[in-house]
Amino acid sequence: MLQPPTEGKFQTLEIIWKHAHNVARAQGYALSTLRSNMTHNQIVIGCYRSGTPKPNKNSSKIVTSRKIDCPFRLFEIKYSKKTTWTPKVKSPEHRNDETENIMEHPAFRKLNEKETSQIAQMSESLLLPRKIKAQLCSQRESERPVILQDIYNKVKKIKKDKLQGRWPIYALIDTLKEENFVWSSARDSERHLTSLFFTHPLVIKILHGFPCVILMDCTYKPNKYKMPLFHIVGFSSTNKTFSGAFCLMKNETEPLYTWELNKYIERVLSNTNIVPPPDIVINRDLDLKSSLKKLFIDSKTGCQGDYQSVEKERKKEAKKIFEEIGEDLFQRLMAEITPILHHFQDFLTGKFPFDQIPKSKEDDQYYEDPL
């Protein structure tokens, strides 16, 4: 038989809870507050497996419960003329057996406020739950266990609290308004959302600097509504990619692609006088290709599998310019320019080894770091 906490007199509720939890942990069970009435200074503590499971309203979903109607009860009473709390065991029997693995009891795995704040920050940084768990385990000084399900449950609760009772799509639109995003939406005759286009003003400035090559593709299953996410990606001069614009769409059809590209032209290209991209790389989506032919007449469209086709075309055009000066001079010039371009890329990314620049032969001076 599992032994209940000893009766006696305690100065505060915290001392009672600490004593009761220590006894319960040693016996292999956990306690929880069943009900409380602080007006009359009464608290009822029971086994965490007390009560009966709620009926399953959705018969197609399998629901499990830890509750087995355990009768154990511990009453904590503070009499009006006394300053101490007196616990009374009313029903010492348990229906559950002692468990050897303490990780089965959620009461001993509770996350404190600091850990909850860390989980919120790491989840916003898109850190995987297993890495969040490893981070928490490395910081904990005690032997309290952490399981992945606790991380999943806490992240789910954080997301639910962040919505504040709103639908996710309305929460997204509110965020776009608060962060001053450039956005537009479209609805059908039944007021259902069909498209949501958005981009950031800072990204528009980056597109203004690198408008030459644009990649367009869809990402699937990014949300609970299974709406494809149309992604417009730009390329910088150092061959780095950046997100240019996003658009949630109901389905991949030519009318929706046309609406999205029109918004891209209207909200991004027209307002800032950005030159339409000369080269656009897409997948083999015929609807998207048809919309691009109507709206981007002067742009070249290539398939996503042919990333090098754009570079080859540019090399051919450059080669035609140097045909008049001869093949040998062209190859020699390209051989001299290529290392310079690589050093320039390293310079922009902070990888240029300034400390390894050789000493000048003409004079006894070193080249100085321009930064």
Do 257 and 145 reside in the same domain of the chain? Answer: no
Do 9 and 99 reside in the same domain of the chain? Answer: yes
- For residues 49 and 68, give the distance between their C-alpha atoms in angstroms, rounded to a whole number: 6
- pLDDT tens digits, the chain, 371 residues: what are they? 555 566 666 667 777 777 777 777 777 677 777 777 766 677 777 777 777 777 766 666 666 777 777 776 666 565 555 666 666 677 667 766 666 566 667 777 778 888 888 899 898 888 888 899 888 888 776 666 788 888 999 999 998 888 888 888 888 889 899 989 999 999 988 888 899 999 999 998 888 888 888 888 888 877 777 889 999 999 888 878 899 999 999 888 999 999 999 999 888 887 667 778 888 888 878 898 889 889 988 888 776 555 555 566 667 777 777 676 667 776 777 777 776 666 555 544 454 444 444 444 444 443 343 33
Do 116 and 188 reside in the same domain of the chain? Answer: no
Do 67 and 27 reside in the same domain of the chain? Answer: yes
Do 212 and 252 reside in the same domain of the chain? Answer: yes
Tell whether 319 is covered by a domain.
Answer: no
Tell whether 175 is covered by a domain.
Answer: yes
Do 32 and 80 reside in the same domain of the chain? Answer: yes
Tell whether 357 is covered by a domain.
Answer: yes
Domain with 299, as residue range(s), is: 169-312
Do 222 and 247 reside in the same domain of the chain? Answer: yes
Do 187 and 137 reside in the same domain of the chain? Answer: no
Q: Which two tokens stand for residue 341?
A: 């371009």
Tell whether 267 is covered by a domain.
Answer: yes
- For residues 147 and 153, give the distance between their C-alpha atoms in angstroms, rounded to a whole number: 10
Tell whether 194 is covered by a domain.
Answer: yes
Q: How many domains does the chain have?
A: 4
What is the biggest distance separating any 2 CA atoms in the chain, rounded to whole angstroms?
108
Do 185 and 306 reside in the same domain of the chain? Answer: yes
Q: Would the pTM of this model clear 0.75, i.e. be above it? A: no
Tell whether 318 is covered by a domain.
Answer: no
Tell whether 336 is covered by a domain.
Answer: yes
Do 217 and 336 reside in the same domain of the chain? Answer: no
Q: Which two tokens stand for residue 347?
A: 């310079």
Q: How many CA atoms, within 13 angstroms, populate the side-chain half-sphere of residue 62?
A: 0
